[in-house]
Structure 1
């Protein structure tokens, strides 16, 4: 038999989704894969009920229905402070996962280099490999997770085709400051580099921090592919509705890539979500309050459990330090699997997000009902005791 693609030896399947499978096996509370256990806004689900009867049920225009693109352009033009043309500047994708892959395939040739900040969402490295591109990893240093300017300059000196920017960041919950973004923008301009942004948590930013769209910076729209999805904003991760916003010359080519990858996103769901895109500004203000409250509830619980963590500024993830809890030479993956079985709460091992040899962090998410978070906290309050007993025995 012929050999399979050698690219597949360069990355594993998703560690996040693996943790979900193990959580399901042991009936643990799943704080690994980032999806809510509460319903989307009723205006969306009510509209979906109507759409199931009246349609559409057939293919939409491959790059997104007219109504969807118009509603999205109206919303994003306001929040991004840009004049987005729904007919030329948008391609609708099957989630932000496809949006990122389409963006990478649109700008990258084989052998091109791509700057990736570490830690990073696990898809970015595999996206680069699948495009035959070479990642250049630039570390973000805890606890503030700032980049070293000289290291970033040296990365740009290697003449990368693009830089991937996740803001607000998964897994660290970092919200990049204006000064940090402007420094990146100046380098992108100097070295004529594209910037691909992953901004799925754009509306989940805790005060006093503010999200700044990279494309809104002076002269940056022309070289930015803004990727996002509706999954997190409207609690519909299973709908798989994403998009890329970019200048017409870029989108014209991104649409070709998208067409041959997936043809198009689900037509009934595009129709139903228009009701969500037309929600008033108060919805996004309430969303901020909702997730700020959930963060504060969960962090208070971590304090009570005696766990050390890095306080997130945005998104809905928190990194917890397990260096004092795991056994000597034990990996964070092994510790996470033990946690799921014995504590009944599922994390993600932090090493899956870092290029560096980081083996002492795990990631939780707090996009859950308050009752779910309280039960998780109750279980986590036994973690320190059980982990120390475990370290002192051969059990």
Structure 2
């Protein structure tokens, strides 16, 4: 018997041991250090076994996809938008890596748009195939990519939105490893704004700095000696940027940028550390998030701001008493009804065929920025009315 056992043991050394069926899939970046290819991304998503939904198609026919981790009916929804700019690939890699390690049954649903600009990613361009910067299109929704993301926000009502980017360093003032920023637009409700700043400063910042990264506020040049801000170069209250649009749509959130001058591995790991911070925030602040989002969705009063930001006082002419609503002619409504629907903006039929968009609705903060002639980039110039 001992001889037979020894013989079997010796024979086993000659037979390759098959890989375990439960072995985790790996991205192309994890395997080779090169950015995951288009085909590699699709193979990886299949291997994770996670639900993948096509939410749109680019102009060049590539799928825009949504990956879900967790229950459809979870209490809290967190949305990660990954690499809107095609030449900023580290966020996409971090999203692909992180999605496979999240719990699939919990009170949180994690949603990923892992490749928010598929055409730009293949071409390694900031914009999409038409050269449009998707992160400047979340208001007018002229691109298939922005329209797909708007539909996700409308249908899933994410409580938290985390937007992953990269920035080009500018020595000596703009050289941190990680930059972060909350929605600055003044039409964002106080609760959503304040929690978004808390997410940036009290969760993402300590998470990345505990890992040895330097971090700071996005869009602000800082004197390397004094640490004082020198000038602002980006990151204002512009409503068409996802960071602001998400806040106007009641989502607590932030933008995270890693330094494109660091190594690819360092950049991806930096994004993963920032994702850790957002996950910690969701666990610790769930009740506060729910309260802030509910207050943001409730019928509110107060002025409409067509300028300014939380760190920049608006011109008095940009602070306007909110009308009761906006009247659209039937022709105007036909032209923009799809965009209004994607934004979740409701309208009512008026006698004669016109439509009115009342401000007593969840989309109150967003509607004037789309319909008022005084807005920076309105979808159309509708007629404000004092009475509905």
Q: TM-score range by the shorter chain?
A: under 0.3
Query: Quick check: which has more Rg, 1 or 2?
Result: 2
More contact order relative to length (CA 8 Å, sep ≥ 6): 1
Q: Which has the higher helix share?
A: 1
Alignment TM-score, normalising by the size of structure 2: 0.24
